[in-house]
Structure 1
Amino acid sequence: MATVTATDQNFGTLINGDKPVLVDFWAAWCGPCRMMAPVLEDLSNDTEGKLVVAKLNVDENPRTAGAFGIMSIPTMILFQNGRPVKQLVGYMPKSELVSRLADVL
């Protein structure tokens, strides 16, 4: 399954689903964000059915980014039952990302 696009409009519905949701807060001009994109795509494919991977463009969706105090990108926040439970900041290789999310994968 490919990553899902998160927006200010669908965010509440997206994070309140029955699966954990990893939201990547990113922007097109951000180099580390572009490096993170294929890592997240791989993670999405590997965890299909267990984890939803969503991407939220902070420039196009400032309300949601502001609500979570996003100051640095990429920032990834893991939501379970609509609540943020883990926050990761900056580029990381897939092996590190998987190990940091091991408790939900």
Structure 2
Amino acid sequence: MENTIKFQDLIRGKKPLLVDFYASWCSPCKMMQPVLQELVSMVGNEVKVIKIDVEKNPQIARSLRIQGVPTLILFQQGEILWRQSGLVSAQHLAQVIQKHSKKIPV
């Protein structure tokens, strides 16, 4: 339950949060790691990126109906702005973030 509370706090933030739901045994999930690193180098601190292991956090995975991994979800202020399963390029993710994130003064 503690992870759920922390997760809920994270997704309610003003800064966009990209969550990579993965499993340690998943080969495509492992391929996403360098993509996410490239994304961070492209967009800097415009977005926070975290990874959540669906096997260690089944309650979060269930609540979001994660059925396949990797699944990427972009949150901002508690809302799901975008969601996709499978491999995604860093360039595409950067475009998604720019298109969907709300510009909110801090």
Between Structure 1 and Structure 2, the one with more helix by share is: 2
For 1:17, which of 10, 13, 25 is the aligned residue? Answer: 13
Q: Deviations over 1:24-57 (max 9, x none)?
A: 1001100000001111122123322211111111
2:74 counterpart of 1:78: yes
Count of aligned pairs: 99
Q: Deviations over 1:61-83 (max 9, x none)?
A: 00001000000110001101111
Q: How does 1:1-105 map to 2 (within 5 A)?
A: 7-103=3-99, 104=101
| SS of 1:32 mapped into structure 2 | helix
Gaps of 5+ in 1: 1-6
Gaps of 5+ in 2: none
Asked if structure 1 preserves the Cα contact closer than 8 Å seen for 2:43 and 2:94, the reply is no
Q: Provide the aligned C-alpha RMSD in A.
A: 1.7
1:18 to partner: Cα distance: 1.9
> Among the aligned pairs, what percent are the same residue?
37
Q: In structure 1, how many angstroms separate the alpha carbons of the residues matched to 2:86 and 2:47? A: 20
Q: What's the TM-score once normalised by structure 1's chain length?
A: 0.84
**Structure of higher CA gyration radius:** 2
Q: What's the TM-score once normalised by structure 2's chain length?
A: 0.83
Structure 1 segments of 4+ aligned residues over 6 angstroms from their partners: none
